[in-house]
């Protein structure tokens, strides 16, 4: 593993720094929004703005890269993102924040596309799986670490926003100073949603619903904490728990995914997520039960994302996988835009603990739909499924397509090895 990482460590360090800055700003929105007396629905709109920008960036960034090149796009988007982070405390108004979030989402999407292109180009067929896994771990560690940095300053001042901007600015140095060649960015045109649904109803519906879960957790978790009176340190710990669970559960769920009917595993993970949300709802604000609920609910979200990608690929030919990945990422993005809006409206109407009601109901819907689909289609034999790889929701289509290609190649190699006498 050390040999594998020796050629890509500057990229991984840059990604950790980017995620530290981006992760800080996600939680800061909820903290500072509460100080500015923004309503739940206003903060929900602000949260959705990021995913609107992210979805737009995923479509436009490859075009920009082909026109002016990786380095220029990377540097320009980094500059805009750094400037936007500093601007938040200067324009403490919901619609201004929404536009800034759209800009940051667009920039982050482009940064991911560029960095993942370089990372994928640096990997070989033999090392791609390990490199992608290291990349996903680096992203998650960055998000978790960002929550610790939030305890070093006051969200009511500009200090933490400036700190996030500095982290993003310096993150580009190790990447730009180490990358020697600029790879070609080739992203498949997304499969039409109707075609995708016909090929994999559970994958399409499930990943849309999961998009609402992920965006609600990452965007509205700090809002929930603020509204129930958590301290800034407790809110940072709460958000960290939402992502820490993914590090713990990703591997065991992935191991099971290659050995059982993935629909049953989707049902089990979604049911556990719903149970965790029920715990968060009935706990009445107890700190440690809330932390446990966040750990379990967040821990189910990321593995479910990879499960839906793997399950959808099981129903498709290798030629259709890149287009299907594009369709799934787009569908996930639509859910991510809608999720915070629904949660914000519910929290404004029913109170802050509606955060758990919305999440639990969505997990429950995923579980019930998985059960329904098991009655409509026979299971794909385990020895004919594609390999699982822990792709996280923050990754761009470049990483998702690379992971899908690697999984298909690994599964084919295993089948050929098993077929030999």
pLDDT of 94 > 80? The answer is yes
Yes or no: say if 226 and 218 are a contact pair by the CB < 8 Å rule: no
Report the SS3 class of residue 216. Answer: helix
**Per-residue tokens: 276:** 């965790």
Query: What are the pLDDT digits (tens) for 370-397?
Result: 999 988 877 766 665 666 667 788 777 7
Tell which residue, 411, 421, 402, 393, has the closest CA to residue 108: 393
Provide CB contacts within 8 A for 50, sequence distance 6+. Answer: 26, 101, 102, 104, 105, 108, 219
Query: Is 398 or 199 the better-scoring residue by pLDDT?
Result: 199
Query: What are the pLDDT digits (tens) for 166-212?
Result: 999 998 888 777 655 555 555 556 777 888 888 889 999 999 999 99
List the single range of 47-56, 70-79, 222-231 with lowest mean pLDDT. 70-79
pLDDT score recorded for residue 5: 62
Q: Locate the DSSP E strands across 21-65.
A: none
Torsion of CA 248, 148, 395, 137, to 10 degrees: -40
Q: pTM for this one?
A: 0.91
Indicate the average pLDDT of the chain.
85
pLDDT score recorded for residue 357: 96
Given the structure tokens 């190790």, which residue do they identify?
174
pLDDT score recorded for residue 181: 57
Report the SS3 class of residue 190. Answer: coil
pLDDT of 226 > 70? The answer is yes
Instruction: Report, as an integer, the average pLDDT of 328-342.
Output: 92
- Cα–Cα distance between 357 and 349 in angstroms, integer? 12
* Triad 371, 376, 377: Cα angle to 5°: 100
pLDDT score recorded for residue 262: 87
- Helices 128-149 and 232-257, interaxial angle, to 10°? 160
* Triad 19, 165, 157: Cα angle to 5°: 115
CATH number for the domain formed by residue range(s) 2-419? 1.20.1250.20
- Cα–Cα distance between 337 and 47 in angstroms, integer? 8
Domain coordinates in residue numbering, the chain? 2-419
Yes or no: say if 313 and 386 are a contact pair by the CB < 8 Å rule: yes
**Per-residue tokens: 409:** 């190649």
């Amino acid at each position: 593993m050390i040999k594998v990482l020796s050629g890509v460590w500057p990229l991984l360090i840059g990604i950790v720094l980017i995620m530290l800055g981006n992760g800080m700003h996600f939680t800061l929105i909820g903290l500072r929004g509460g100080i500015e007396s923004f309503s739940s629905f206003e903060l929900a709109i602000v949260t959705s703005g990021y995913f609107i920008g992210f979805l737009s960036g995923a479509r436009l960034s490859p075009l920009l890269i082909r026109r002016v090149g990786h380095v220029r796009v990377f540097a320009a988007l980094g500059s805009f993102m750094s400037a936007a982070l500093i601007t938040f405390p200067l324009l403490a108004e919901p619609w201004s924040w929404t536009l800034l979030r759209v800009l940051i989402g667009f920039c982050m999407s482009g940064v991911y596309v560029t960095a993942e292109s370089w990372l994928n180009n640096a990997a070989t067929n033999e090392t791609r799986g390990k490199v992608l896994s290291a990349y996903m771990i680096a992203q998650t560690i960055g998000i978790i670490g960002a929550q610790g940095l939030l305890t070093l300053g006051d969200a009511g001042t500009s200090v933490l926003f400036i700190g996030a901007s500095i982290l993003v600015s310096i993150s580009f140095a190790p990447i730009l100073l180490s990358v020697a060649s600029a790879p070609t960015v080739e992203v498949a045109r997304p499969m039409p949603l109707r075609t995708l649904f016909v090929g994999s109803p559970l994958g399409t519906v499930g990943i849309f619903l999961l998009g609402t879960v992920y965006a609600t957790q990452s965007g509205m978790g700090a809002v929930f904490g603020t509204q129930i009176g958590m301290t800034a340190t407790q809110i940072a710990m709460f958000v960290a728990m939402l992502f820490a669970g993914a590090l713990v559960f990703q591997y065991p769920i992935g191991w099971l995914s290659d050995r059982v009917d993935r629909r049953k595993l989707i049902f089990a993970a979604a049911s556990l997520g719903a149970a965790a949300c029920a715990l968060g709802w009935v706990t009445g604000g107890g700190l440690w039960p809330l932390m446990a609920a966040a750990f379990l609910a967040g821990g189910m979200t990321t593995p479910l994302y990879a499960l839906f990608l793997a399950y959808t690929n099981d129903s498709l030919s290798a030629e259709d996988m890149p287009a299907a990945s594009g369709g799934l990422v787009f569908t996930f993005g639509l859910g991510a835009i809608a999720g915070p809006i629904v949660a914000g409206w519910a929290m404004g109407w029913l109170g802050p603990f509606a955060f758990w009601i919305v999440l639990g109901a969505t997990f429950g819907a995923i579980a019930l739909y998985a059960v329904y689909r098991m009655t409509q289609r026979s299971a794909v034999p385990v020895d004919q499924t594609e390999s699982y790889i822990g792709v996280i929701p923050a990754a761009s289509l470049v990483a998702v397509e690379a992971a899908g290609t690697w999984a298909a190649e690994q599964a084919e190699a295993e089948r050929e090895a098993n077929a030999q006498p």
